[in-house]
Structure 1
Amino acid sequence: MYKNILLLLFVSLLFFAGCTSSEIQTGEDAINVSLLQKYIFFLASDSLMGRDTPSPGLDTAAIFIAEEFKNDGLKPINSSYFQRVKMGKIKLGSNNHLAATINDKKINYKIKTDFTPFEMTGNKEVNAPVVFVGYGIDAPKFNYNDYAGIDVKGKVVFVLRHEPEEDNPESIFDGKKATHYSSVDKKVEIAIEKGAVGVMVIQDPLNHSMLNPRGFPWPSLSKLIPEDALPLSLDFNEREKIPVVQVGADVAADLFGSVEKLKEIQSSIDKDLKPASFEFKNVLISLKTETEFLDQSAKNVVGLLEGSDPELKEEVLVIGAHYDHVGVMKKHRDDEDYIFNGADDNASGTSCLLSVAAALSKMDTKPKRSILFIAFCGEEKGLFGSKYYVENPLIPLENTVAMLNLDMTGRNSIDSLFIEAADVSPELKEINEKENEAVGFTLLYSSNIGSGRSDHANFIKKGIPALFYFSGMHPDYHKVSDNPDKINYPKAVKVAKLVLRTAWQIANDNKKYSLIKK
């Protein structure tokens, strides 16, 4: 009796394995060069005018993707294949000023040459003391804190751009690679957390000779910027907004006594990696910034493959790729190619996404977990589509078990593929490596997760493990020469097959995967 039970179990396992292998083969057979070419030649055609966010060309691409989702049997969510991503262009207002009262003497500064508001600035006026906080970084990971021992609540902070030891390959901040702590966005986020009411940012003088702002990004302040090239922003309140401005050499000289004095302080910080923060005595800053938000929107495109298991179908794997690019050159000769078609960036990743959806539609057996396919808009504007999604998820994030991201998957050697975020998603890495045995890539790993340079980063920030499939950089990146004829189609086929196999394993698993916080 015992032997019969074991035999029955063994035969059942063989049958299940055979079905699984057969199903995967059916899916893989559906992914081919012709299919990838169909997708890429449409998405990267001149008629879509570079798929800028927002633009009519991007809308045309969205309709195409939604039709493919529908044809492959993916379901809409809330009766739609589209998630409207609210955003808008930001216009600089007329009422912006900066003044410093030093020892009872008031100094008024000129907009553009002395100060320029950043696009993330808030519509507020503040009158407050000012505190120098070095690079404005609080990074426990690197045991570095410019805010140690200093109170900035209710005060304006003065910060240096970038991060300590910018040009030192041995820097604790990942050598010469800039971490996310170097971004102005991160510095402002930290300042708000510490209670600051305004931020003044200056180019760090040790490594940069041009300190004065030049009106960027505002067309009203710079003749070099076209009138319609207003900065774009998402329309949801990620955080309380406070006035944020870039300031120049004259402001620094008035506060520190000279730019050379600021250089000395910066040099000391870089050398000792210790804060040199202090509050300026007898100094009051008056700062007001004003912008106008002009409503616009674009679309994420979504399609759901519902899972087959009554319980596990409530859990979802997200497979994503951004479908936008950077549009067209504003100024060009009549005989000059001016359309950034973005065949690799990221018609290739979007086409792999569509190919995986098409492959799954050909398989008789459906995965136990659900799979949500998302084509993101606005990645080139700052990961807008994925950022909006994780703040406004169509399926609860607590039910999202993992995310697979495809971005630039069609260039360079057919034998190798970069995988990012594997260092923080070890179980996904293991699954992907196992499935790659049947595909045959040499997998190259990067730990550059802190850069947040593609849409997986927003999911990781929310605690969702992810993998990022990337074929590597090339000379045509963000150039008009990134065209469909340069795509390595057999490689893109291999990438899609690897993602299909990995997605199949994740979607038929019942485990929750860990994320290593860094």
Structure 2
Amino acid sequence: MKTSFAVASSFILAASASFAQTALFSDAPAAVPAQDGGTATDNSALAPITPKLHEVILGLPIDTQRFNEHVIVLSSPWMGGRLPGTPGMEFAMDYMEYWLKRANIEPGVPSSDGSPATYRQAFDLGGRRVAKDQSVSITPTVGAAFSLVTNQDVQLSGLGSEGNAEGGIAFVGYGIEQGPEGYTSFTADHSLEGKVALCFRFEPMDEAGKSKWSGGDGWSAQAGFQGKLAAIAKRKPSAIIVINPPGADDPRATSLTTSGGRSLVQMPVFMMSADAADRVLQAADPKSRSIMALRTEADNAGASFDLTGATAAVSATYEEKKTKAENIIGILKGKGTLASEYIIVGGHLDHLGNGDFGSREGPGKLHPGADDNASGVAGVMIIAEDLSAKYAAAPADANLRSVLFMGFTAEESGLNGSRHYVEHPLYPLKDTVLMMNFDMIGRMTKDRLSVTGANSAKGMLEWAKPIFDRGGCTVVINESMS
């Protein structure tokens, strides 16, 4: 890890002086010959016993120790997965700001009213819909009406719209229009119009709770919300309730939350737990079937039918909540004739929080983001500390470019933080000569360093190659963005 930081630090410092092949400083350790004719790290001093982890870490160079500490802190549960707009992201921004200050990196965001500069470039990330008022109640033909408990039995999703609905209850299996071997969840001539439609999440399963249709690898496309909600909605129910099926081999089957908040249909859509669905069936199903019995029927053959023993009433309203996002930006001021030119060293600070979007596992589980991208931000902070010391030691008459250190926000939701900076630059883009982005640098193996974009400027790869060569890494040039 020290080797990669030394390469990066030397690369940036060389760029800060000029696009020449000789860096002002280079602390990259010398490589030793490997048996295969390449280079390798000399490990001859390692004891032939397995040391404890903390002993290994304490024996590593200080920048490698610091890297480890940064990644541990930024990916800890305290940071909550660093989702923009959450307390965890605020803690992460405070942490990066603290270490930039400690490295004598000045605030890089000038004010417009004469107040002191800050490290925060703020912007509106947009709004998100959240449930304001929601309710689901069941009225049996025999017995007392009852309400389901919000966020325990049922939860309003972002997949539908606001509205109030009341009517009979219909069961539509998995809500699948057309599956393999003629499977369909909809009985011909069975009307859903004006009714509250109940359907299962996912798709037909085997006894182990795995898909019958995917070939043993997760779920097929039939399991998604978009297709099933569209198939149900075109039959004009007044609302849709999606039930988490019992026994499904998927962690999302115990969660009432869903990824994303995009409305797919123009009617209320709720999520319901299997236990709550059992209580509804006890009231509404004349055959007194359990939710597991209905799942077994739907697994074997599709059919839709009315549950005539009760009616349902639902109510759903949303409110829009604005999310404020902030890029962290610090500046190491240059010297001499090159001080008004800029190099950007950055990486995105955010991750997926609890999987509220962008997660392959769905929401409800902490996504720490150790590699993506606590590792990249750790690298940025270490390089800031290293370059700050080297700039301070440079001769008074040195010509050095200014360096901006950035922790971008909202990358995971669409490169929003870096896009905002490009659209609202704090320093002229025409004077910005180089940008180095660090992303997912925590799992470098066999001393292989991947570099993307090295050919994005004329002559840059040739200029950089001697620096790469001194680092002792095998540098792999990725041409996809060059």
Give the greater-gyration-radius structure (CA).
2
Report the TM-score, using the length of structure 2 for normalisation.
Answer: 0.47
Report the TM-score, using the length of structure 1 for normalisation.
Answer: 0.44
